[in-house]
Amino acid sequence: MRHLGVSGVDPAFYRDIERIAGLFFPQVKVMDQRGAEPEAFVHFAVDDQGPIEVKATLSDSGRDQTWHAFHRRERGERVTGKEHRRQVKQVVHHALLQLLQEATGVRQPWGILTGVRPTKLLHKMLLEGLSEEEASAVLERDYRLMPYKIELMKDIVHRQTAVLPDLYELDQEVSLYIGIPFCPTKCAYCTFPAYAIQGRNGSVKEFLSGLHQEIEAVGDWLHRRQLPVTTIYFGGGTPTSITAEQMEALFMKMKNSIPSYGGVREWTVEAGRPDTLDEEKLDLLKRWKVDRISINPQSFEESTLKLIGRHHTVKETLEKYELARRMGLHHINMDLIIGLPGEGVDTFRQSLQMMEELKPESLTVHTLSFKRGSHMSRNKEKYRVAGRNEIGEMVQTAREWTRKQGYAPYYLYRQKNILGNQENVGYAFPGEESLYNIIIMEERQTIIGLGCGAVSKIIPPGTGRIRRLPNPKEPQAYIDNYRRHIEDKVAALDEAYGF
């Protein structure tokens, strides 16, 4: 299905209706039923004068079939305005989900939820005073989540509040994200700011010069405002794509600029591409007491690595991992991706067997997402991936395997166009969780983004409101405009913190 006609509801609901329909029919577009001829129609009859009642009918002209759904919810006392509208929209979503599940035979594990951060919803309910049992009932009744997804969310919230007992008070501090936009090559599934380091997308030297000035300016602001830094995270791209000399100069600038550098709780450097690591860089990370690094295989299948554009071998991943261990790096994270082209349950189980031998302190299990703009999304016919049921089996296999190995889930996020409408989950041995990953997902604290593609999420203390302030994604654009972005960032921070 490419087009779905809709009638009977406010057109302002169309965007959310399209998101839910997109769980069943990728790239479907919703249009007013009075417009062009779509392949199928949904008509909603809404009665919200007493209890909210929605009748929905789906007609498929191609198959000459019709389905019906009905959902009813008691209207809360004195519910008016925005809250009443929110409840009406939720009942519409219920009816639509029921219709599409009946028409396709597909059950959505996350119900009507289409957002990135489902655990944030559970945190909100608990902060509002609901018990776990009450929150679970709301997630199942009002959002139609499958019980096993609710249990996953509860497990994660337990770990997060155990690891960060002050999670709800962290808005009195900030964290820093430093984006290094270079990689040896760009992976086929990637839409992150990642440019070939030998390419023509701006000078590495000029980019780093601008980044040094940005770190200095933000450090000066932190010093004047006396705000401590909780975590520092170097991402990208692949930060270890730059030379050891350039990395050390960057680390020195950070140490000299950030007033609370010595009290930072966690410092992560992504070294995700094994082909960017050598003894000199690993020694540098060790000497600077980096707490956590990533060495990401994504797959242990040679043909897959070649297909997705990762120009390293399985042997190289294993060698760099062992080198990092020998050099005394304690916390290593590794990533696997479920649903890479040509891979199924058996291939994924083989990857898990390899992980069983390596025993990284943490393991992030991603489910492949066809991100808009990626090479893979533009050439889907070249990249054949597993079906919905097989993806679900692999996700469940990862859950069972990690539990058996002693890993606990501690953060979760979802993406648009993720295979099987599943999720990405970070697992870790107890005590080895990434604090930054919890903070970025639950959005309880300002994260100041520096460098290419970095997005500052500014959260004024005590408000929960989020203001996004992106840096340019492309290196040359960053080089040309970083001074203006520094000024805008400092002004926005001053406004948020009452200065």
Q: How far apart are CA 132 and CA 134, in angstroms?
A: 5
Residue 368 or residue 200, greater confidence: 368
Contacts of 146 (CB under 8 A, 6+ apart): 107, 109, 110, 111
**Per-residue pLDDT averaged across 437-449, rounded?**
97
CA atoms lying within 13 Å on the CB side of residue 275: 13
Domain ranges of the chain: 1-106, 174-493
**Per-residue pLDDT averaged across 14-37, rounded?**
85
**Per-residue pLDDT averaged across 305-310, rounded?**
82
* The predicted structure's pLDDT at residue 183: 82
Lowest-pLDDT choice from 66-80, 365-379, 401-415, 464-478: 365-379
**Per-residue pLDDT averaged across 395-422, rounded?**
96
Distances (CA, A) of 383 to 304, 307, 387, 428: 10, 9, 13, 31
Q: Are strands 467-470 and 455-458 parallel, antiparallel or unpaired?
A: antiparallel
Q: How far apart are CA 354 and CA 321, in angstroms?
A: 12
Which of 175-184, 190-199, 278-287 has the highest mean predicted lDDT (pLDDT)?
Answer: 278-287
380 C-beta neighbours (distance < 10 Å), count: 12
**Per-residue pLDDT averaged across 320-337, rounded?**
95
pLDDT of 121 over the 80 cut: yes
Q: Could you give the percent of the chain with pLDDT greater than 90?
A: 76
Q: Where does 147-225 have alpha helices with state H? A: 147-163, 204-225
Tokens of 242: 């730059």
* The predicted structure's pLDDT at residue 82: 85
CA atoms lying within 13 Å on the CB side of residue 381: 0
**Per-residue pLDDT averaged across 365-380, rounded?**
78
Query: Are the C-beta atoms of 50 and 91 separated by less than 8 Å?
Result: no
* The predicted structure's pLDDT at residue 333: 97
Query: Are the C-beta atoms of 103 and 58 separated by less than 8 Å?
Result: yes
**Per-residue pLDDT averaged across 411-419, rounded?**
92
What is the Rg, in whole angstroms, of the alpha carbon atoms belonging to the chain? 24
Contacts of 252 (CB under 8 A, 6+ apart): none
Q: Is the peptide bond prior to 105 cis by the omega test (within 30 degrees of 0)? A: no
**Per-residue pLDDT averaged across 401-412, rounded?**
98
Burial degree of 433 (CB within 10 A; 0-12, 13-18, 19+): buried
pLDDT tens-digit profile of 187-226? Answer: 666 666 666 666 555 689 999 999 999 999 999 999 999 9
Q: How confident is the model at residue 35 (pLDDT cuts 50, 70, 90)?
A: low
pLDDT tens-digit profile of 61-100? Answer: 777 789 999 999 887 777 678 888 888 999 999 999 999 9
**Which amino acid appears at position 386 of this protein?**
A
**Edge-to-edge, what's the strand order for the sheet holding 40-47?**
29-32, 3-7, 40-47, 52-60, 65-73
* The predicted structure's pLDDT at residue 189: 63
pLDDT tens-digit profile of 162-174? Answer: 999 999 999 999 9
Q: If DSSP codes are grouped into helix, strand and coil, which group holds residue 195?
A: strand
Q: How far apart are CA 20 and CA 97, in angstroms?
A: 7
User: Domain spanning 1-106: which CATH class is it, in words?
Assistant: alpha beta
Q: How far apart are CA 205 and CA 273, in angstroms?
A: 21
Eight-state DSSP code of residue 471: P
Q: Which residues of 467-478 are buried (b: 16+ CB within 10 A; e: fewer)?
A: eebebbbebbeb
Tokens of 472: 């340019």
Q: How far apart are CA 325 and CA 318, in angstroms?
A: 11
Across the chain, what does the average pLDDT equal?
Answer: 91
Q: How far apart are CA 76 and CA 72, in angstroms?
A: 13
Q: How far apart are CA 148 and CA 156, in angstroms?
A: 13
* The predicted structure's pLDDT at residue 272: 80
Number of DSSP helices (H) and strands (E) in the chain, helices first: 15, 18
Q: How confident is the model at residue 440 (pLDDT cuts 50, 70, 90)?
A: very high
pLDDT tens-digit profile of 53-67? Answer: 999 999 987 777 899
* The predicted structure's pLDDT at residue 136: 98
Which CATH superfamily, name and number, covers 174-493?
tm_1862 like domain (3.80.30.20)
Residue 192 or residue 339, greater confidence: 339
Lowest-pLDDT choice from 29-38, 105-114, 194-203, 243-252: 194-203
pLDDT tens-digit profile of 454-484? Answer: 999 999 999 989 999 999 999 999 999 999 9
Residue with token string 């007013």: 32
Residue 382 or residue 330, greater confidence: 330
Q: How far apart are CA 386 and CA 474, in angstroms?
A: 33
Q: Is the pTM of this model over 0.75?
A: yes
Residue with token string 């501690």: 410
If we measure between CA atoms, which residue out of 448, 456, 454 comes closest to residue 477?
454
Q: If DSSP codes are grouped into helix, strand and coil, which group holds residue 392?
A: helix
